[in-house]
């Protein structure tokens, strides 16, 4: 019966990140730097709120868009932190993680024939959804621009079929953050054009050296922007599956239909925990951010000394990834990653998992303890010195 499976779905490949994680499981002594999730537990006060929700039998469906208190808390959060202004009643939807937020966003606006501009290299979660909508992903090669989606690069790829452009900052896999100047130029290019901006800001709380800025906060941009965010990274809550969409009411009302027929609502228990996360008056991301920043500095310095150069001389500004070039060794990113795993038992993700534009790089996640990172860097150093540069 397999030949009857939807042909678009048949063409979708398992994510290269997942493939690597599966492979690593067969090397029990390997140090893994492959996973894109925080290594901190969910803060205890949030876990307690989840337990309370269970004890109080808050285990039934909620409103499709999510609990009103949570929508308000999310709107207040992005207003206080990033100067965004959304009506919790009509412009916020609580989703099952940022992944489902992306799914309902793309399925609401993308149809057959639509093109979506995506930076490359990039998180592999967008392209399969676009494909299932009958749309086409058009990659913007950001390797020559320090992995930045500049207005110039976008302008060169815009056609009358371009329905949306995806921005992801801080970026998975590069850790790059768009500067205010770059966001302003992109806004100037797209303002008033019939093109949506899907702004994936799931790492917004993990920007190390400057405040996070959202393109939706720039004059006139709210109308054509859908902001994706969530608690997976900021509050170490990947398994709770809580994300958000922030979009103008006229778009949100259509997204809500897709959401309703997709999952009805996000988990009620997780929603109660999320209310606690956003209203307890604690900045849970702050201590984690401090630790990530120290790890970033450590791994970045080691990589520089080992001779694995990042594309730009400066450190990546956010998320918990480094994306060094391995081009100088004459190996593909797959070969490099496999050899490193085989010989030194260190797992990194080959850059080609992030589109063809990631070839020649590897992704190193530093969402691991300093102890693991130190050992992994020692092993990497041995490996690279054997390879010679
Ligand atoms: N967007 C990006 C850029 C991501 O890296 C991830 C998770 N790795 C997601 C979205 C999905 O996040 P969630 O776990 O909240 O679904």
β 136-141/115-120 pair status: parallel
CA of 63 to the centre of ligand 1 (A): 24
> According to the model, what pLDDT value does residue 198 have?
98
Using a 6 Å cutoff on CB, does residue 238 contact ligand 1? Answer: yes
Residue in the structure block whose two tokens are 């269970």: 54
Is the shortest distance between the CB of 119 and ligand 1 below 6 Å?
Answer: no
Q: With contact defined as beta carbons under 8 Å apart, do 133 and 111 qualify? A: yes
- Determine the pLDDT at residue 389: 53
Ligand 1: centre distance to CA 312 (Å):
24
Q: Is the CB of 175 under 6 A from ligand 1?
A: no
CB of 230 closer than 6 angstroms to any ligand 1 atom: yes
Ligand 1: centre distance to CA 172 (Å): 9
This model of the complex carries an ipTM of 0.99
Find the farthest-apart pair of alpha carbons in the chain and give their distance in angstroms, rounded: 62
Q: Residue 109: CB partners within 8 Å, gap ≥ 6?
A: 163, 164, 196, 226, 251
Q: What's the pLDDT score for residue 312? A: 60
Domains in the chain: ranges and CATH: 2-42+285-387 (3.90.1150.10), 44-279 (3.40.640.10)
Q: Which of 271, 233, 219 is nearest to 69 (CA)?
A: 271
How far apart are the CA of 342 and the centre of ligand 1, in A? Answer: 29
DSSP string, 212-272: ---GGGSTT-GGGEEEEEESTTTTT-GGG--EEEE--HHHHHHHHHHHHHHHSSS-HHHHH
Q: Tell me, using a 6 A CB cutoff, whether residue 67 lines ligand 1.
A: no
To test the pocket of ligand 1, the residue of 202, 349, 367 to mutate (highest count of ligand atoms within 8 Å of its CB) is 202
Q: CA torsion angle for 239, 12, 198, 114 (degrees, to 10)?
A: -160
Which atom of ligand 1 approaches the CA of 168 most closely? 3
Atom from ligand 1 closest to the CA of residue 102: 10
> Does residue 202 have its Cβ closer than 6 Å to ligand 1?
yes
- Please give the pLDDT value at position 122: 97
Taking the chain (389 residues) in runs of 10, the rounded mean pLDDT of each run is 93 86 89 90 97 98 98 98 98 98 98 98 97 97 94 98 98 96 98 98 96 97 98 97 98 98 98 98 91 96 87 83 94 96 96 96 96 97 88
The terminus-to-terminus CA distance of the chain in angstroms comes to 50
Whole-number Å distance between alpha carbons of 297 and 82: 25
Assess whether the C-beta atom of 185 lies below 6 angstroms from ligand 1. no
Cβ of residue 99 lying under 6 Å from some atom of ligand 1: yes
């Amino acid at each position: 019966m397999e030949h009857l499976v939807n042909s678009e779905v048949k063409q979708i490949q398992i994510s290269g990140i997942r493939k690597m994680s599966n492979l690593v499981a067969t090397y029990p002594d390997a140090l893994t730097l492959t996973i894109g999730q925080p290594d901190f537990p969910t803060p205890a006060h949030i876990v307690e709120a989840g337990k309370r929700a269970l004890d109080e039998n808050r285990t039934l469906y909620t409103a499709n868009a999510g609990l009103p208190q949570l929508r308000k808390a999310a709107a207040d959060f992005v207003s206080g932190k990033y100067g965004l202004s959304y009506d919790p009643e009509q412009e916020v939807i609580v989703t099952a993680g940022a992944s489902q937020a992306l799914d309902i966003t793309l399925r609401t606006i993308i149809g057959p024939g639509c093109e979506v501009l995506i930076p490359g290299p990039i998180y592999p979660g967008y392209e399969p959804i676009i494909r299932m909508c009958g749309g086409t992903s058009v990659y913007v090669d950001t390797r020559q621009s320090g992995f930045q989606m500049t207005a110039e690069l976008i302008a060169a790829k815009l056609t009358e079929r371009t329905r949306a452009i995806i921005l992801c900052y801080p970026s998975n896999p590069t850790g790059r953050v768009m500067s205010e100047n770059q966001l302003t130029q992109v806004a100037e290019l797209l303002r008033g054009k019939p093109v949506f901006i899907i702004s994936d800001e799931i790492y917004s709380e993990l920007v190390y050296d400057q405040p996070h800025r959202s393109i939706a906060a720039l004059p006139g941009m709210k109308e054509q922007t859908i902001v994706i965010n969530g608690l997976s990274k900021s509050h170490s809550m990947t398994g709770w599956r809580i994300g958000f969409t922030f979009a103008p009411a006229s778009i949100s009302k259509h997204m809500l239909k897709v959401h309703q027929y997709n999952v009805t609502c996000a988990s009620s228990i997780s929603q109660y925990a999320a209310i606690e996360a956003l209203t307890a008056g604690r900045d849970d991301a702050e201590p984690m951010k401090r630790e990530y920043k120290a790890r970033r500095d450590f791994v970045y310095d080691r990589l520089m000394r080992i001779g694995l150069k990042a594309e730009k001389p400066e450190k990546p500004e956010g998320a918990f990834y480094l994306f060094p070039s391995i081009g100088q060794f004459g190996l593909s990113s797959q070969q490099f990653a496999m050899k490193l795993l085989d010989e030194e038992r260190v797992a990194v993700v080959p850059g080609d998992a992030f589109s063809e534009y990631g070839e020649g790089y590897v992704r190193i996640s530093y969402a691991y303890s300093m102890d693991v990172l130190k050992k992994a860097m020692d092993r990497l150093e041995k490996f690279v010195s054997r390879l010679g540069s």
